[in-house]
A and B are shown apart, each in its own frame.
Chain A
Amino acid sequence: MNTDFARQAIEKISAENETRVTSVKDALGEFTATVPANSVVEVCQKLRDEHGFDMLADLCGSDRGPEEDPRFEVNYHLFSTQHYNRIRIKVELSEDSPKVDTVTTLWKTANWHERETYDLVGIVFEGHPDLRRILLPSDFDGHALRKDYPLRGYEPYSLT
């Protein structure tokens, strides 16, 4: 896929304020922009309103492992329903404060994606209207998709 459209959008956004984008990567036909946690909402809003990336296709968290720093990352996959282009916004988060501002204010669909990411990876989305577990039971201990969480859990989970 052609990444020029995404590249131009990100160049324009970082030209206005250099601190908004940390680094960019263009690999395998996909354009990735890494942004600091405090500017993710701002960058997403600019991409949505000024550059036509009007749909949040996917949002997922990922754990790089306990020894890595920054340990967590959140990927926002944006899609443009007019230009059919895609862009990935990446936020890196340290283990001490796995927190990032919610994008539910921009896209309603972010609600369940963020709940899932909170549930499985343990990333807190500040300002989320209803940040509860979604796939695992509410009394589940730990976050299952973290690398230090064992595949079979700490002990057999019982529903009773």
Chain B
Amino acid sequence: MEPVSTDVIASPEMMDESLDSQMTISMGPQHPSTHGVLRLELVLDGEMVVTAKPDIGYLHTGMEKLFEYKKYQQGIVITDRMDYLNPLGNNLAYVMAAEKLLQLEIPPRAQIIRVLMCELQRIASHMVWLGTHALDIGAMSPFFFCFRQREKILNLIEAASGGRMTPSYFRIGGLMMDLPAGFERRVKQFLEDFPAAMDTFETLVSGNTIWQSRTREIGYINKEDAIQWGLTGPCLRGSGVELDLRRHNPYTGYETYDFEIPVEHGCDVWARFRVRMRELYESAKIVTQALERLKPGPIKADAPKVVLPDRDDMRKHMDSLIHHFLIVAEGFNVPPGEVYMPIEASKGELGVYMKSNGGPKPERVHFRGPSFVNLSALPDMSEGEMIADVVAIIGSLDIVLGEIDR
């Protein structure tokens, strides 16, 4: 084998040039701390970032095109694959957009289960964020503790829906099926153990001096800029704006739950970290309240032309069988119109724009992903920072590339 020539790697000309000028490096697409396939084109002056340009699209799979070729109920499984850390949130936004067009009334038990599952999912999503954020900055053990907690929630989601990462549990007009026996007991068990786990995180991460010095006063974005850049969710609340769609544009009955909106005024990575940590307690509080409200009742809307009938009904009633056949074979027609359905996903405002032309397939479905918008503010936050801090800033944005590229 020919020996590799070294003059290309370090020629004297290149070295001289780099001493007094800026250097462009490509961070990613295969970089562990970019949380997926994200490439950053960084122009550096020494260790300082002059400009940062995110380059996305490596995971683009044309999901918005695919929606137009699938029936409404088939689109639910596509949404699972967008923000794969918060699939139930995506399901919820999508089905609620369709339900708004159809003007369906969802029974209370289904609403409560939706809230319960979404808040569990939010905890799971924040667990991945905390673990990977800590891992990026150099703390390895929180990662394992976080994933242990997340595993418990994934087991719960699996028990309810059969899928761990791709549940597709919410259906247009209600739920796929009711909760299994013993589910409430398992959630209670999780809620009992969770405060101890949070104490561990607070000790391991929040109380860590190295962690604080790595996160304080970096990635600064003030209130006006945060709104200009369209930041939502914990990123916006970390800049001192009290905005939570669960409170301010309530959906699924969130207005009846008692929870606080954590707001921090630091505008830096530490502030966004604190917001998410405090949100975990609030989510656990909402889960507790939802469990108390859980009463037996129907889990599907009374709309036989839209909602699949129960198996038992199909064996006894001819019309149920006909409806089942028609929904599966031809789909259901949705009245013409357009809606924009925003929800508070774990990363911020997840909006679904859905346009119907009256047929069984949507004319246009557009997902406004919170990660997509939050990432676009990265250049603003990271310019003037050290290159090592860019990793911390990406972690504080909590991005998922599956949702950005769609």
What residues of chain A have their CB less than 8 Å away from a CB belonging to chain B? 1, 27-30, 32, 54-58, 60, 62-64, 75, 77, 81, 84, 86, 88, 107-109, 111-113, 116, 120, 133-137, 144-145, 149, 151
| Given contacts A28-B339, A109-B376, A112-B376, A145 and B65 within 8 Å (CB-CB) | yes
Flag if A145 contacts B64 (CB, 8 Å): yes
Known: A108-B229, A145-B65. A75 touches B376 (CB 8 A): no
Residues of B within 8 A of A64 (CB): 363
**A–B complex contacts, Cβ < 8 Å, 18 sampled:** A28-B337, A29-B100, A55-B230, A56-B230, A57-B342, A57-B349, A57-B368, A58-B368, A62-B364, A77-B351, A108-B380, A109-B228, A112-B372, A112-B373, A134-B57, A135-B57, A135-B60, A151-B66
Q: Give CA–CA (A151, B228) in the complex, Å.
A: 35
Is the Cβ of A109 less than 8 Å from the Cβ of B229? yes
Query: Contact: B227 with A55, CB < 8 Å?
Result: yes
Check if B109 is an interface residue, CB within 8 A of chain A: no
B residues less than 8 Å from A116 (CB atoms): 372
| Residues on B with beta carbons closer than 8 Å to the beta carbon of A27 | 337
The residue in chain B whose Cβ has the minimal distance to the Cβ of A32 is B338
| B62 contact set on A, CB distance < 8 A | 144
The answer, among A84, A113, A144, A149, for a CB contact under 8 Å with B249, is A84
Residues 40-89 of B contacting A (Cβ, < 8 Å): 56-57, 60, 62, 64-66, 69
B57 with A57: CB separation less than 8 A: no
Chain B interface mostly helix, strand, loop or mixed?
Answer: mixed
B interface residue numbers (CB < 8 A to A): 56-57, 60, 62, 64-66, 69, 100-101, 103, 225, 227-230, 232, 241, 243, 248-249, 337-340, 342, 349, 351, 353, 355, 363-364, 366, 368, 372-373, 376-377, 380, 405-406
B56 with A81: CB separation less than 8 A: no
Q: Are A30 and B227 CB-contacts (below 8 A) given A134-B57, A144-B65, A151-B65?
A: no
Q: Is the CB of B69 within 8 A of A77?
A: no
* Selected contact of A30 from candidates B232, B340, B377, B406, CB within 8 Å: B340
Interface centre among A56, A64, A112 (most CB of B within 10 A): A112
CA distance A86 to B340 in the complex (A): 10
The answer to whether B353 touches A58 (Cβ under 8 A) is yes
Q: Name B57's contact: one of A1, A60, A136 (CB within 8 Å).
A: A136
The contact of B228 among A28, A30, A107, A149, by CB within 8 Å, is A107
Bound CA–CA A27/B100 (angstroms) = 11
Given contacts A84-B249, A112-B373, A144-B65, contact A58 B351 (CB under 8 A): yes
Most buried by A among B230, B232, B372, B376: B230
Picked from B69, B249, B366, the residue with its CB within 8 Å of the CB of A58 is B366
